[in-house]
Amino acid sequence: MEFFCTCSHLPIHVSDMGSEKPAVVLLHGYLETLSVWDDFVKYLEKDYRIIRIDLPGHGLSGTAEVNSVDFSAQVIYEVLQKQQVGECVIGGHSMGGYTALAFAANYPDRTRGLCLFHSTPNPDPPEKQGGRDREIALLREGKLSSVIRRGVPHMFADDNASRFAEKIAEISEVAEIHEPEGLIACLEGMKRRPDRNEFLASFHQPLLFIFGEKDRYISLATAQELAIRFPQAQTLWLKNSGHNGFIEEPQSTAEGFLKFLAGVEWRR
């Protein structure tokens, strides 16, 4: 079921599939919407209640002046309150992973597990912040299409570009609905997000990293460093994926994620 609810004074677009099953929240990345998970949830919906949200500034949801990851986490908390969800496993792709981390840090009693799909606890380094500033300038100049043409294909491994040309076109077409102001607010939020490494070291619930070995946003060296830094985490390596493993290698990603979910201890 898809619907709108008001959270933190914003209209929020929500998809909630199921009711009596354990809840899994999936958060999309930058330039995406909740629809990016459409094919992937088919692997999960038999056993889990899948909740997806257009994050503030994206899709059909409203936006704040700055969509910090902590603000977006608060919105998710309010959605779960309205849906009477007491606990969940939360997973996020890229930008959605930053928000999932914020949710786990701010609402530990609601978090039974955390999955970072092609995402890290690291803050933006200065060169990345500079890139976001350049993208903000393009959006302010009315060049959303240019941002999409640069960003969406880069999410896929070079080897997969032709095979997923139709999916790249689909994601790009959906991205055209975004309001530039919302994207700018999200870019500002990502620029300002805190370092979550210390929090993640103290996180004692099940933790899963999913990395693509051909990711052009997160280098293999960075991914390997994180796997070593957090030995308590399970790590799924996708040999033929870039930044979108749940699309590029959905079967392997689903198998790894389902195995992770099977190890979660639910309170109720």
Q: What is the pLDDT of residue 251?
A: 98
In the chain, what are the domains? 2-262 (3.40.50.1820)
DSSP string for residues in 88-155:
EEEEEETHHHHHHHHHHHH-GGGEEEEEEES--SPPPPHHHHHHHHHHHHHHHTT-HHHHHHHHTGGG
Digit-by-digit pLDDT tens for the chain (268 residues) are 999 999 999 999 999 998 789 999 999 999 999 999 999 999 999 999 999 999 999 999 999 999 999 999 999 999 999 999 999 999 999 999 999 999 999 999 999 999 999 999 999 999 999 999 999 999 999 999 999 999 999 999 999 999 999 999 999 999 999 999 999 999 999 999 999 999 999 999 999 999 999 999 999 999 999 999 999 999 999 999 999 999 999 999 999 999 999 999 998 6
Q: Say what the pTM is.
A: 0.98
Return the DSSP state at 36: G
What is the pLDDT, as a whole number, of residue 117?
98
**What is residue 19's DSSP assignment?**
S
Structure tokens at 44: 């999960």
The confidence score (pLDDT) of residue 268 equals 63
Helix pair angle (180-192, 144-151), 10° resolution: 50
